[in-house]
């Protein structure tokens, strides 16, 4: 997808994301043919939607679709997918014989699905098991970002009656694709926070002139822009490179730089940025949750560092 087709696709997504969220946005994405675009051009579909979603503070079930597509599983509207628990990227399930243990998370739309697909380790294999959604105890995660509708799932000793499907090669690909999607969403949220801080710096006056004229404020805004562009460039490079390692690097950097953007923009907005009336706090909260999904920036960086130390080899240069 390129040229006029891509521009039309992005305009349609923008209109949908800016006006809708949650279930309404899921229906709009289906009407726009986003699932078909995901299958034919994953980079265009993922980068366009998730950047807009982060910017608009919208929510959808698109991350579930991204994971299912990478797994090569055709999930219908009655099937949800259990994601790894916050801070983790390993398969959320463990299958022992016919007994299934699950520790994971799910998006808001999961509650409306009748069946749940759980990716689980089974000895040295990785399989996908389908169980009734009602059999999975869920706890709403309402603390830091109640608007996202995230749920925690913790189940022990479930009987797996369905035949497990092998997905050994699909899970690393699904994790990588989900990390890229979340990295785009983190960049989108960061860009919106920078817009808010810039607008405030131009409008707010101190000592008879806009605070945007003060060097300390300008440095905060410039550092934020550098952080965002760094993350965005690495995410684009990760698509070109196509390996799971660079996807993890992109997610780690996007999470770290989004926290940098949160800190600097909060400083520029000062007191008004802490109020519930201003939208900044929603983006700051969303960044913290997005950073936790499929591995935090700290955990991914530590894992990548350990991998490099173990192999004693530097990875190839990225196509920046």
Q: Which residue has the higher pLDDT, 166 or 222?
A: 222
Residue of 83, 78, 80, 108 lying closest to 93 (CA atoms): 83
Residue 132 near residue 115, CB atoms below 8 Å: yes
Residue 129 near residue 140, CB atoms below 8 Å: no
Per-residue burial over 103-124, b if 16 or more Cβ lie within 10 Å, else e, is bbbbbbbbeebebbbbbbbbee
pLDDT digits (tens, 9 = 90+) for 294-304: 999 999 999 99
The reported pLDDT for the residue numbered 319 is: 62
The reported pLDDT for the residue numbered 161 is: 78
pLDDT digits (tens, 9 = 90+) for 215-232: 999 999 999 999 999 999
The reported pLDDT for the residue numbered 11 is: 95
DSSP-derived secondary structure letter, 274: G
pLDDT digits (tens, 9 = 90+) for 121-154: 998 899 999 999 999 999 999 889 999 999 999 9
Cα Rg, the chain, nearest whole Å: 20
Compute how many other C-beta atoms are within 10 angstroms of the C-beta atom of residue 9: 20
The model's confidence at residue 76, banded by pLDDT at 50, 70 and 90, is low
Task: Provide the percentage of residues in the chain whose pLDDT is more than 70.
Answer: 98
The reported pLDDT for the residue numbered 164 is: 83
The reported pLDDT for the residue numbered 226 is: 98
Q: Which residues pair with 79 in a beta bridge?
A: 115
Q: pLDDT at residue 165 above 90?
A: no
How far apart (Å, rounded) are the C-alpha atoms in residues 6 and 2? 5
The model's confidence at residue 317, banded by pLDDT at 50, 70 and 90, is confident
3-class DSSP assignment, residue 107:
coil
The reported pLDDT for the residue numbered 1 is: 76
Give the mean pLDDT of the chain: 93
Q: pLDDT at residue 18 above 90?
A: yes
The model's confidence at residue 263, banded by pLDDT at 50, 70 and 90, is very high
pLDDT digits (tens, 9 = 90+) for 274-286: 899 999 999 999 9
Residue 81 near residue 136, CB atoms below 8 Å: no
């Amino acid at each position: 997808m390129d040229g006029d087709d891509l521009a039309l696709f992005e305009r349609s997504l923008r209109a949908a994301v800016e006006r809708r969220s949650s279930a309404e946005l899921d229906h709009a994405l289906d009407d726009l043919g986003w699932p078909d675009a995901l299958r034919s051009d994953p980079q265009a579909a993922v980068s366009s939607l998730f950047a807009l979603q982060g910017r608009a503070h919208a929510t959808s079930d698109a991350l579930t679709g991204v994971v299912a597509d990478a797994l090569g599983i055709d999930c219908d509207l009655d099937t949800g997918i259990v994601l790894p628990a916050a801070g983790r990227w390993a398969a959320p399930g463990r299958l022992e014989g016919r007994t299934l243990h699950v520790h994971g998370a799910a998006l808001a739309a999961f509650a409306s699905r009748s069946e749940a697909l759980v990716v689980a380790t089974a000895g040295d294999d990785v399989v996908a098991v389908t169980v009734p959604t009602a059999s999975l105890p869920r706890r709403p995660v309402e603390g830091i970002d109640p608007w996202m509708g995230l749920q925690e799932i913790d189940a022990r000793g479930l009987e797996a009656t369905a035949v497990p499907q092998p997905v050994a090669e699909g899970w690393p690909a699904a994790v990588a694709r989900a990390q890229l999607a979340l990295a785009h969403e983190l960049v989108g949220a960061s860009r919106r926070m920078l817009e808010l801080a810039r607008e405030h710096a131009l409008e707010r006056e101190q000592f008879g002139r806009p605070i945007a004229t003060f060097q300390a404020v300008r440095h905060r805004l410039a550092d934020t822009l550098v952080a965002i562009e760094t993350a965005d460039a690495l995410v684009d490079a990760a698509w070109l490179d196509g390996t799971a390692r660079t996807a993890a690097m992109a997610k780690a950097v996007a999470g770290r730089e989004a926290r940098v953007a949160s800190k600097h923009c909060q400083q520029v907005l000062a007191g008004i940025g802490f109020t519930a009336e201003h939208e900044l706090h929603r983006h700051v909260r969303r960044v913290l949750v997005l950073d936790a999904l499929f591995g935090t920036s700290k955990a991914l960086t530590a894992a990548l560092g350990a991998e490099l130390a173990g192999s004693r080899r530097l990875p190839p240069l990225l196509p920046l």
